[in-house]
Amino acid sequence: MFGDASRMREMLSREQLKPKNVGETLARFGQYFGAYWPALVVVLALVLASTWMQVTTPEMIGQVVDCYLTPAAANAFGGAGAAFGGGAAAESAAQSNCWLAADSATQDLTHRFLRQVVYLGTEPPAATDLAALDAGGRIAGLTRVVLTIVALYVGGALLTGAGFFVMTWAGQHVLRALRVDVFRHLHRLSQGYYTEHEAGDLMSRITNDATAVEQAFGFALIQVFGAALLLVWIAYNMLARSVPFALLSMIVMPVMVVATFWFSEQARREFRRSRREMGSVNAELQESIAAVREVQAFNRAEENIERFMVTNAANRDANVRAVAYTAALAPTLEALGYVALAVVTGVGGYSLLTGQALEFAGMSSTVSLGLVITFLGYVQRFNQPIQQIALLWTNVQNAIAGGERIFGLLDEKPAVQDRPGARVMPPIRGAVEFKDASAEYQAGVPVLHGVSFRAEPGQTIAIVGPTGAGKTTIINLIPRFWDVTGGSVTIDGLDVRDVTLESLRRQIGLVLQDTFLFSATVMENIRFGRPEATDEEVIAAAKLAHADTFIERLPEKYQTVLGERGSGLSQGQRQLIAIARAALANPRILILDEATSSVDTRTERLIQKAFDELLEGRTSFVIAHRLSTIRNADLILVLKAGEIIERGRFDELLAQRGFFYELYMSQFRAQERAQEIGVNGRQGLASQPA
């Protein structure tokens, strides 16, 4: 199976992960496989049966020689025939090793079963009967044994294939359940988990780790188990037939094991080094391409080329060493296999020619030509299972390590979850109150300090302040993306921690600064927050958000499929679709995180007019730098370093000439000047003669 050098290199080049808690991980896998235990029993039975067939075929070939060929040669050629078998002693040894003609009372279960199969429908012969058979009788008996051997080969192949199929079937069902559990759990985890963990690492657990588990369940696990079983069974059969001959035949096996694992480990070490060097090559290449203008401007091309050549050479050398170890493994095992064959042939041939029995520790066994051929068949089977175990054990380890990472993710407890006995949030009227609320993302590092305010139903609350003041944290506390660490947040008098997350968030709409659109149609993106909405309701929401105008210009209009994250649309267009999505959801509380920051002034005025209707009777929280949003707010909260330092309406805060006034003069006034310049410029152009 692994004779192909490219296949062997691919197996050895895989990253090897070391599992930390094998027993616990296997127990967790066992829970998933519990529903498919009948399939595992079938796999075990198929592996046992196919391995038994692989072990039995060499012995049957030996029976062909001892039971039919040696007696036939002796009868046909007389003394010369005796020489073929090594003399009368060898002929006697062949007769004693021919269990097909032995007394069934002295045979083990396997030999009795095979004897019945070979002579199905006829009376099994005795040893004297085989010796007296004529040519036709021997040919008939030989045909029966050969057909049995063919049946064993074909049956072994079919059972092996069936075992792989059943194991893959069970493994795929388990893998599907595991992926669904992971995906479902990812949606339960709180926002804080995603802040602390990179998306690439989470994707790796779903894809790479799950793939490692899939490979182990698909073929690696069953092959490693089958290979280990085959080695043990071969060793047992050899020792059962002749202890001295078996020990001499297996003398090379420890060397094969050591050589296989040594070469494999050396190759993996060099492949790890190659991966590190390849990372350096890619980093060097990416940096050079990204900075090509600077490189050309400062005439650094030659220096960069020299540095790249050094990095690339290190990767080349590591690959050459890895391939050298990989290429040396197969010839080494092949050479050791030939040594084992030479030992069996030499020892067996010497015993046959001299007529001497093999002795060891008081145990003596007679060697026949058929026994030598049987042992040659056994020895030839040493190579493949040892190589399979060495190469595929990495897959098994990676699967266990991948399972640990997956189960570690499943064991993560959401920081925000429903309390025991949490009630369903009744229809929200919109009274939101922060009572001395504090929050922190890292223990001991507060981002909000004792924030208190109240929003009445239908009011628009604007939150302003410099970067890092805590604006986003406040709006994150309302739908419980985070929980307060002190104080409380209530809606209509109910602490948000005392109601279910699903019933709370269903009545809150969000339009975030970083708009996310899915790779789906425009219609499906708008309908995302309310899947049961009709097409007419979706179009009405788009018109309300003034997104209908540009949507109608798209190739397929509302059925246009958007690219990843809405690629192909401008940032302003993406936000218009997000606003339409929020309008369609018809929330009782609306949160706008700089929702109009990326649209032009004209579009913003249209959106604001739509929001005046949309927000009627709804409580809204707005983080924005646009003057129109700030001017119309019922209450403006000015944050600095996690505290509310000023509050009031727009004109009131300006009159105080405090921090908000300074913020207005530095940021908002600049926007007004830019708007005035744009208006005056257009008027000037309009007054010029054509």
pLDDT at site 45: 92
Residue 83 in any domain: the answer is yes
398 and 429 both lie in a single domain: no
Domain with 538, as residue range(s), is 515-586
Type of residue at 466: P
- pLDDT higher than 60, residue 84: no
Q: 180-193: b or e for each residue (b if 16 or more CB lie within 10 Å)?
A: eebeeebeebbbbb
CA distances from 57 to 54, 67, 99, 241, 609 (A): 6, 15, 14, 15, 86
524 and 495 both lie in a single domain: no
Long-range contacts of 284-292 (CB under 8 A, 24+ apart): 284/308, 284/311
CATH value at residue 645: 3.40.50.300
218 and 366 both lie in a single domain: yes
Q: What gap in Å lies between CA 604 and CA 486, rounded to an integer? A: 37
Question: pLDDT-based confidence at 683, cuts 50/70/90?
Answer: very low
Residues 6+ apart with CB under 8 A from 334: 383
pLDDT in tens, 165-182: 998 888 888 888 888 888
643 and 562 both lie in a single domain: no
Residue 91 in any domain: the answer is yes
Q: What is the pTM of this model?
A: 0.69
Question: pLDDT-based confidence at 213, cuts 50/70/90?
Answer: confident
Residue 321 in any domain: the answer is yes
- pLDDT higher than 60, residue 23: yes
pLDDT at site 304: 78
How many domains does one find in the chain?
A: 3
Q: What gap in Å lies between CA 667 and CA 264, rounded to an integer? A: 64
Nearest to 509 by CA among 617, 624, 616, 590: 590
Q: What gap in Å lies between CA 93 and CA 649, rounded to an integer? A: 111
481 and 532 both lie in a single domain: no
pLDDT in tens, 306-317: 887 888 788 788
| 86 against 38, higher pLDDT | 38
Residue 477 burial class via C-beta count within 10 angstroms: exposed 0-12, middle 13-18, buried 19 and up: buried
- pLDDT higher than 90, residue 154: yes
128 and 39 both lie in a single domain: yes
**Domain end call among 376, 410, 444:** 410
Residue 668 in any domain: the answer is no
Question: pLDDT-based confidence at 3, cuts 50/70/90?
Answer: very low
Question: pLDDT-based confidence at 42, cuts 50/70/90?
Answer: very high
pLDDT in tens, 531-581: 888 888 888 888 887 788 888 888 888 888 887 666 667 777 787 888 888
Mean pLDDT confidence for 440-464: 85
281 and 325 both lie in a single domain: yes
Q: What gap in Å lies between CA 453 and CA 573, rounded to an integer? A: 34
pLDDT in tens, 618-640: 888 888 666 556 777 888 888 88
558 and 644 both lie in a single domain: no
Residues 6+ apart with CB under 8 A from 638: 464, 465, 644, 645, 646, 647, 653, 658, 659, 660, 663
CB atoms within 10 A of CB 338: 12
Residue 469 in any domain: the answer is yes
Residue 607 in any domain: the answer is no
Half-sphere exposure for 552 (CA within 13 Å, toward CB):
8
What's the residue count for the chain?
690
Mean pLDDT confidence for 433-456: 86
Question: pLDDT-based confidence at 48, cuts 50/70/90?
Answer: very high
**Domain end call among 350, 376, 410:** 410
Residues 6+ apart with CB under 8 A from 263: 325, 326, 328, 329, 332
Residue 665 in any domain: the answer is no
pLDDT in tens, 379-427: 888 777 877 776 677 667 777 777 777 888 888 887 788 888 888 888 8
**Domain end call among 379, 410, 441:** 410
Residue 120 in any domain: the answer is yes
Half-sphere exposure for 385 (CA within 13 Å, toward CB):
22
Nearest to 589 by CA among 487, 424, 451, 478: 478
pLDDT at site 688: 42
32 and 140 both lie in a single domain: yes
| DSSP-derived pairing of the beta strands 508-511 and 486-491 | unpaired
262 and 386 both lie in a single domain: yes
pLDDT in tens, 587-596: 888 888 765 5
What's 220's DSSP letter? I
Residues 6+ apart with CB under 8 A from 26: 400
Nearest to 472 by CA among 604, 352, 622, 584: 622
Mean pLDDT confidence for 244-260: 84
442 and 474 both lie in a single domain: yes
44 and 171 both lie in a single domain: yes
Residue whose structure tokens are 């698909």: 218
In the chain, how many H helices and how many E strands?
30, 12
CATH value at residue 311: 1.20.1560.10
Task: Please provide the average confidence, as pLDDT, over all residues in the chain.
Answer: 78
Q: 314-323: b or e for each residue (b if 16 or more CB lie within 10 Å)?
A: bbeebbebbb
pLDDT at site 129: 65
| DSSP-derived pairing of the beta strands 486-491 and 432-442 | antiparallel
